[in-house]
Structure 1
Amino acid sequence: MTPLQTAEITGIVTETARLTREQYVFPEVGEALATLLADRLAEGRYQQAADPEALGRLVTEDLQSVNQDRHLRLKFHRVAVPDTEDGAVLAELDREADLSLGGVPLVERLGGGVARLKLAPIIFPLAMGAEPTTAGFNLVARAEALILDLRECVGGHPEAVAHISAYLLDEPTHLTTLYDRQDGEYRQLWSPAHVPGPRFGGAKPLYVLTSKATFSGAEAMAYDLQQQGRAVVVGERSGGGANPRQGFTVHPHLEATIPVSRSINPVSGTNWEGTGITPDIETDPAEALAVAHREALAEVARRGGDTHSAAEARRLLAGGTEAGHDGEPI
């Protein structure tokens, strides 16, 4: 990669400072950070950056030094990205969607009427992920309990989060409100009234797995469902990124990602920025699936009466096998 010249560094940092001042959802912090970048540029801090990756690292350290907003950064992209609004992230999402089956890499039956659906690496925009998401949630709709695995999910598109939430609720629900700095308006996000195919619904047991890697839109899903009293969150405290971002290409390999709005939950009146989501059942993320499965089995057994799923759940809780009704292969 071609080394950066002094004039290039000056232009990149100056443009990043301008965007931070004009776009960041918290104007006073944006102004302070823009001044900080200008001061560090004048001091020669960034001239030590031999390439875009090094410059991105240095500028990100300074951008996150005031309020530790992990969405606010100068992100390096090894593959050159288009000079369009959010062009960098869209190009990256297209590659990731191809590698992850549209963001639904795993659906499985765990036994006792419990299903697990994994979303990773992010919850893709509906244009990229609607079909695999619909297929996955249609497949688990008949389960008696569901474990939604977000331990490796690092983000998500707000409309896609609302779409998925509708499969886990019975009726349109106000999930969050987004405040946008540029127009000063508040926009409510609701789960839609209609989704393709059957829903898992809003009554059956639901568990959401989290880790410190769970971030941004994935946290939004976990937090919204937790605040609505719809899901039990199991695992580790999440990463703490609640301010939706927008991307601006400032160099073929560098994207200034600036949070331009903030989330406000209608139940809590706040969000998880900087704190992460506190699990209802806190455990090592490596153990979260086993813990959630046992909780789900106990709930299926309690609710199920004489159903096959309840009988199997009771056997599994007692240490039996997952095979046929008498412990023999079907």
Structure 2
Amino acid sequence: MAKILLENYCFPENLVGMQEAIQQAIDSGEILRISDRKTLASVLTVGVQGALNDPRLTVSYEPNFVPVMPPLLPSLPIEQLIRLVRNSVKVDILENNIGYLRIDRIIGEETAATLGSLLRDNIWDKIAHTSSLIFDLRYSTAGQLSGIPFIISYFSDPVPIIHIDTVYDRPSNTTRELWTMPSIKGERYGKKKDMIILTSKHTMGAAEAVAYTFKHLKRAIIVGERSAGGSVKVRKIRVGGSEFYITVPVARSFNPITGQSWEVSGVSPTVNIIAKEAVAKAKYLLAVRGAIPSIVQSISNIIERSYAFTDKVPALLHHLQSTDLFSVISEEDLAIRLNQDLQTVSEDPRLIIKYLQDNAAIVEEDPELCTVPDDQELLRALIDSTFKVEILPGNTGYLRFDKFVELSALTKSEEFMAKKVWEPIKDTDNLIIDLRYNTGGCSTSLALILSYLHDISPKHHFFTIYTRIQNTTTAYNTPLQITGPTYGSKRGVYVLTSYHTASVGEEFAYLIQSLHRGTVIGEITSGTLMHSKMFQIEGTGLAITVPVINFIDNNEECWLGGGVVPDAIVLAEDAEDQVHEIADFHQGLRSLMEETGELLEKHYAIHEVALKAITDSMSSSAMLSPSRLMTL
């Protein structure tokens, strides 16, 4: 046995110490006490398989074994060869110009050369002009490796030639490389059209080599069951003059891409499904994959037309067109692949492609939020119902509004607005702005409301909005004229947030922080504001969310949206109580800064204008914002 393995086993490097192991088993005496021949064969099989970790190695006792030599195909009469090929090959053209090719036996190199014209006329030319192909190997259980280059070549380009496989034969100690062929009879199918290979648990040998090669060349998607895991070549060899035989794999395959093989483990499918359902699944996949180019083009058009970061658009479009979508098997899979690529190139978490389960409808923003009634009484009723004002203990003003009213509504009723909101709170020491229930509205009124929280002069620039779809840039500054008293910049402003705070409410909270005009207290906001718009890809379950607005704050930084993190994070229901603690702390700081200012005025030898700038800065409530306290 050791001698047979050393001369024939295709992994000779694993046989180091094999002869010594067999001698040890003999010397132990246990194996010599086995009197039943079949039991001995079983024991030897377990020993050899365990030592070499190869389930193909088996020892058998077969006193009546007669080797059967299959006839060599090239030696058969031409009529029999033609009959064999016709019985093992089926060609059909399915709906939507899908080709169907079933091969149950892969013929060898010599036979393929002999029947070249027959194969061309009856197989290759028939499928050459189909739009895509289903290649059925579910029933392919026999064949020769030498025929593989003929098949692979028809589904490849003539140049460059491709290294398909390397086969090592142990008895002859020779290595043979398989390459695609630069010229063949018939028209090539090429490598661009979709091809799906069907496999089953019965697919074996040369058919496994074909499926494995196409899979790792990224030329075909495998659909069906894991294949049988056969071998390149197995021989049953008689052990000496006995009636025992050992079955040995005498050749092995090395794939140049993976360095491994389909032997023993089989070919794992890209889409795992029972074999009898594989054709229907393949048709579905081809329909999905056939739509990919138009889907990618639609997405490219939307990005080119709508994405706010115009400088990133060329790179995104280039990447979309060059993305490897070889193994995409569903719209959901396509969304995941494209999403990963877009996120990597754009570094923008808002640019998202989603698969909408069951083609869920896209919910559009309620247009009523930005409508303005013409009637003055209706306008006043809108203002009255929107804004709630109170004076709390400790002379603290309280202002709650749950949506941002359109700017024209505020300007048309500004006198009433001043009387309703700003007059009652003008003499308070601090102001609470409650946005815990604010879910958005119209951002056009942001600058006006912020203006009331600053001094009339100097004029302020609050933020800039660039809208890609209209290709417009709008700067939002202090209005030319304000009706009613402003709250000014000296007193404390405390903005309350919750996870319900959304959209424009998030913009306001963000600007309060970036302008250093107040302290945000409560929960991280909803994160729903992305300055984006969702577009559905027609005829699919896919949608792309594209940032269509660049929101640029007063520091010239572009805010990508997402949740606003409060300066003091507490539960929303505790936020108002937290205001009083923070306000008391700020009051102590104000006193400290006032005393420091007085000391500077008395003792610091500095120019009067510079001194006034320092004291004004220290008296400003902006100094109380968490981001500015460090400068103290």
Into which bin does the TM-score normalised by the smaller protein fall?
0.5 to 0.7
Q: Which of the residues 106, 112, 128 maps onto 1:123?
A: 106
> What does residue 263 of structure 1 align with?
253
> What does residue 425 of structure 2 align with?
none
Contact preservation (8 Å) 1:75, 1:257: no
Separation in 2 of the partners of 1:136 and 1:69?
A: 38
> What does residue 19 of structure 1 align with?
4
Contact preservation (8 Å) 2:153, 2:180: yes
Shift of 1:145: 0.5
Pairwise mapping of residues 37-76 of structure 1 onto structure 2 (< 5 A)?
43-46=34-37, 67-70=53-56
Is 2:192 the partner of 1:208? no
Contact preservation (8 Å) 1:158, 1:217: yes
Given the superposition, is the C-alpha separation of residues 104 and 45 from structure 1 closer, same or farther in structure 2, using an over 3 Å criterion?
same
Contact preservation (8 Å) 1:153, 1:213: yes
Q: Which of the residues 229, 232, 236 maps onto 1:244?
A: 232
Shift of 1:70: 3.9
- DSSP 3-state at the match of 2:164: strand
- Aligned CA-pair RMSD: 4.2
> What does residue 289 of structure 2 align with?
299
Separation in 1 of the partners of 2:86 and 2:18?
A: 39
Shift of 1:156: 2.8
Q: Which of the residues 130, 140, 144 maps onto 1:157?
A: 144
Contact preservation (8 Å) 1:102, 1:129: no
AA at the equivalent of 1:114: I
Separation in 1 of the partners of 2:224 and 2:251?
A: 28
- DSSP 3-state at the match of 2:101: strand
Identity of aligned residues (%): 28
Separation in 1 of the partners of 2:89 and 2:178?
A: 26
The runs of 5 or more residues in structure 2 that have no matched partner are 295-632
- DSSP 3-state at the match of 1:209: strand
Contact preservation (8 Å) 2:56, 2:247: no
Shift of 1:41: 9.1
Contact preservation (8 Å) 1:73, 1:257: yes
Contact preservation (8 Å) 1:208, 1:233: yes
Separation in 2 of the partners of 1:157 and 1:103?
A: 17
Shift of 1:179: 2.8
Separation in 2 of the partners of 1:212 and 1:234?
A: 12
- DSSP 3-state at the match of 2:279: helix
Q: In the TM superposition, what whole-angstrom CA distance separates every residue of 1:47-81 from its partner, at most 9, and x where no partner exists?
A: 689xxxxx9x99988876653444878799x9965
Separation in 1 of the partners of 2:213 and 2:61?
A: 28
Q: In the TM superposition, what whole-angstrom CA distance separates every residue of 1:90-137 from its partner, at most 9, and x where no partner exists?
A: 4699999787535633111121110111111x3122334553644322
> What does residue 184 of structure 2 align with?
195
Separation in 1 of the partners of 2:199 and 2:232?
A: 19
Deviates more, 1:17-26 or 1:98-107: 98-107
The runs of 5 or more residues in structure 1 that have no matched partner are 1-13, 50-54, 83-87, 305-330
Contact preservation (8 Å) 2:133, 2:194: yes
Separation in 2 of the partners of 1:159 and 1:97?
A: 17
Separation in 1 of the partners of 2:269 and 2:277?
A: 13
Separation in 1 of the partners of 2:7 and 2:182?
A: 36
Pairwise mapping of residues 67-146 of structure 1 onto structure 2 (< 5 A)?
67-70=53-56, 88-90=69-71, 100-101=84-85, 104-120=88-104, 122-129=105-112, 131=115, 133-134=119-120, 135-146=122-133
Q: Which of the residues 209, 223, 236 maps onto 1:234?
A: 223
Separation in 2 of the partners of 1:44 and 1:92?
A: 44
Ranked by relative contact order (alpha carbons within 8 Å, sequence separation 6 or more), the top structure is 1
Shift of 1:24: 0.9
Q: Which of the residues 167, 186, 194 maps onto 2:154?
A: 167
Shift of 1:21: 3.8
Aligned residues: 273
Separation in 1 of the partners of 2:130 and 2:32?
A: 57
Contact preservation (8 Å) 2:166, 2:177: yes
Shift of 1:89: 3.7
Q: In the TM superposition, what whole-angstrom CA distance separates every residue of 1:245-292 from its partner, at most 9, and x where no partner exists?
A: 1546759xx997532222111111222333222211111111111101
Contact preservation (8 Å) 1:179, 1:263: yes
Shift of 1:197: 0.9
User: Considering only CA atoms, is the larger Rg found in Structure 1 or Structure 2?
Assistant: 2
- DSSP 3-state at the match of 1:237: coil
Separation in 2 of the partners of 1:59 and 1:89?
A: 29
